[in-house]
Chain A
Amino acid sequence: MVQQTEAIAPDTQHEAPPEVVKSLRDHGALPQWRLMWRQFRRHRLALIGLIVLIPIYFMAVFAGFFAPSSADTAHTALPYAPPQRVHISAEHGMFVYGYSSTRNQETFEQTFTVDKSKIVDVGWFVRGDEYSVVGPIKSNIHLIGPTKAGEAFFLVGADQSGRDLLSRLIHGARVSLSIGLVGVFASFLLGMLIGGISGYVGGRVDNIIQRIIEFIMSVPTLPLWMALSAALPGSWGPLTRYFAITVILSLIGWTGLARDVRGRFLSLREEDFVMAARLDGVGRTGIIFGHMVPSFASHIIASISMAVPRMILAETSLSFLGLGLQPPAVSWGVLLEGAQNIRAVATAPWLLTPGLAVVVVVLAMNFVGDGLRDAADPYK
């Protein structure tokens, strides 16, 4: 008999035929991670997503430096002030025009006009509000801002209390971006543990866990989140609330991941190499962590990367409804709460910019996740 058994699986015929793939692998052409990176790079959208995300996360980490002012600095006389344009002239260098406001005597609506007589000088690396870089290390240098500290400087406009929306956006990125990571980490632990037990032990345990997961999945999430967050005491501080919200989100978010892990475990349990390890006398934990987990780690990473944007969207929705984080905490969802009133949006459409930020970040994350998923299966 010829030494190899034929394994033509025509369902993969649209890609490299399995025999080609197999021979690529046999010839040890490339290690797995190199293949994955190669595959990922080929996914152009994923690469763009990564290029978009890295600076955004960087900005969130050093929010104090990148934001022209602190999140709470308010110019109470300038609610809903429109965005300013940066001008450059030989005489003044970089500057923006100030505002002059008039109040309509009948409607009491405030209208702003650009006042060309007021010139606010703008510079790079200016001194302004103090912020903490890391822990006790403080600084007051800002990437860009008015040279004279305290002047109004609204590149994307101001909110209802005359606070700089751009600064709030950058500060809010910290919470919005980190809640996705923290929440996914929590649901990852839950999902790995429960899904792993379900898939590895199997039988009755598996059956019960699957029923529970089905049950959780069949409940409409938002009403449940709302109900749970209603149960949070109003007296909790922002940090406690942040963690409570994270826990609530991940309590429901783990199910998808658990299903994934279970599926992988179930299919791996029957694989020859696991059987070989078992016959070799490798213990249970040794098999799980030494053999099984590494072989599906890439899939798990891919499915985690898809869970992060979902978590961000969930936080945004909850906070938008006023049920998630509460001011003075700033997150993109909290900022959007100010946009709930359609009249406010109509007079100050820039209030929707946090929404735009959400869309951009989530889109970029989905692209990256998609690329990772493709890359997780470099042979496919």
Chain B
Amino acid sequence: MLRFVARRLVWMVITLAAISFVTFVVIKLPPGDYTTTVIANAEARGQDIPDSQIAELKRHYGLDKPFLVQYFTWIKGVVLHGDLGQSFAWNQSVASLIGNRVLLSMVLSIASLLFVWAIAFPIGIYSALKQYSGGDYLASFLGFIGMAVPEFMLALVMMYIGFRYFGQSVGGLFSPEYADAAWNLGKLLDLISHLWVPIVVVGVAGTAGLIRITRANLLDELHKPYVATARAKGLPEWKLLLKYPVRMSLSPFFSTVGWLLPGLISGETIVSVVMSLPTSGPLLLGAVKSQDMYLVGSFVLILSTLTVIGTMLSDLALAWWDPRIRTRFQKG
């Protein structure tokens, strides 16, 4: 098991390094650099910046160095000092801008993940066990709809209904009286009462997908010979189904984190924009629109990193759950 963990950790570090590199490429992709912005700002004010000063700026930020050197300077700052760079638009350090927002993004994404599991597995199992029943058809149909409706559409419709029929805005995460208050129980309860709408909206597509996967997996398992063996042993039907095929079909449950989490973060991003939640979504959108590349890159880096860590945790959980994977790594 230890060997397995070590292997996963090494792989994770490599992945993170690759992600950081891609991120930096993206940061550097638009033509021009920080000095271009400075010059543009200065010109807007009717000032002229002498070339020597620009060269000085370039040296200060290391912009005159080769690409790789710039990358290593940047990543060193990120890893050693948590320095993600400077937001041009906000003229603030990126780290101070996004801390709380990323936290809320993760809370929302993980809550959605739990929601997806809680809803999708029972329904998926039910659908498979009662294949071709009315309930199965209903679940499949709703699953199809869930996959076809874009998250932002659902968010818009929810907001429209809230606005039109309840005369209140369902956007935001806090009621006005709590928005700037310090954390207390009231604020927490207020957050939860606001959070369920985005959780449901973000989770719908994932739920639909997972219902289909769970159902298909279980259907595959239901007719395997080991189920016939269990039946031949004289186990009562429901007991053998839970102990054998359902147990087997839940192995993918853990590997879902790997693909579900990126999707949920994407969904969360766009839903937050629509519902103006104080998560990373709206800030990321603003940064993208103003080509505030360090801010954009930091979001990509942090969200990807968190996803990779989540995936690794789920891999470990899978190894704990499935002896086949556990032993494969014990040997070599």
Contact = CB atoms under 8 A, between A and B. Distances in A.
A232 to B, nearest CB: 8
A317 B144 contact: no
Contact of B15 (A14, A215, A342): A215
A231 B30 contact: yes
A336 to B, nearest CB: 8
A285 interface: no
Contacts of A214: 15
Contact of B29 (A231, A363, A370): A231
Interface string B289-322: 1010100110110011001100100000000000
Interface stretch (A104-112, A144-152, A219-227, A268-276): A219-227
A283 interface: no
Nearest to A49: B144
A100 interface: no
A367 interface: yes
Contacts of A45: 144
B169 interface: yes
Contact of B265 (A215, A223, A231): A223
Interface string A207-236: 000000011011111111011111101000
B148 A362 contact: yes
B69 interface: no
B228 to A, nearest CB: 6
Nearest to A229: B288
A6 interface: no
Interface stretch (A28-36, A65-73, A159-167, A344-352): A344-352
Contacts of A339: 156
A323 B220 CA distance: 41
A321 B148 contact: no
Interface in B205-258: 220, 222-225, 228, 258
Interface in A353-380: 355, 358-359, 362-363, 366-367, 370
Contact of B262 (A12, A217, A233, A363): A217
A305 B224 CA distance: 30
Chain B contact residues, majority secondary structure = helix
B145 interface: yes
A10 B223 contact: yes
B288 A226 contact: yes
A45 to B, nearest CB: 8
A230 B296 CA distance: 9
Of A13, A227, A339, most buried by chain B (CB within 10 Å of CB) is A227
A217 B19 CA distance: 11
B259 interface: yes
Interface residues of B, number: 60
B295 to A, nearest CB: 10
B270 interface: yes
B284 A226 contact: yes
Given A14-B223, A218-B262, A229-B288, A346 B164 contact: yes
B303 A223 contact: yes
Given A323-B288, A339-B156, A355-B156, A223 B148 contact: no
B223 A11 contact: yes
B144 A363 contact: yes
Contacts of B160: 342, 345-346, 349, 352
A372 B291 CA distance: 42
B265 A220 contact: yes
Contact of A223 (B30, B145, B266): B266
B15 A322 contact: no
A126 to B, nearest CB: 33
A317 B152 contact: yes
Contacts of B261: 220
Contacts of B125: none
A187 interface: no
Given A219-B19, A339-B156, A230 B293 contact: yes
B147 interface: yes
B148 A359 contact: yes
A362 B148 CA distance: 5
Contact of B266 (A217, A220, A342): A220
Contacts of B293: 230-231
B15 A218 contact: yes
Contact of B270 (A317, A355, A359): A317
B9 interface: no
A313 B154 CA distance: 13
Contact of A227 (B159, B270, B296, B311): B296
Contacts of B18: 215
Given A214-B15, A217-B258, A316-B150, 15 more contacts: A10-B224, A14-B223, A45-B144, A219-B307, A220-B303, A223-B284, A227-B299, A227-B300, A230-B293, A231-B293, A317-B150, A322-B285, A342-B163, A346-B163, A370-B144
Give me the 3 closest cross-chain CB pairs, A-B, nearest first: A222-B266, A231-B29, A220-B265
Interface of A: 10-14, 45, 214-215, 217-224, 226-231, 233, 309, 313, 316-317, 320-323, 336, 339-340, 342, 345-346, 349, 352, 355, 358-359, 362-363, 366-367, 370
27 contacts: A10-B225, A11-B223, A11-B225, A45-B144, A217-B262, A218-B15, A218-B258, A218-B307, A220-B261, A220-B263, A220-B304, A220-B307, A221-B263, A227-B26, A227-B288, A230-B288, A230-B291, A231-B291, A309-B148, A321-B285, A342-B156, A342-B160, A346-B164, A352-B160, A355-B156, A358-B148, A359-B153
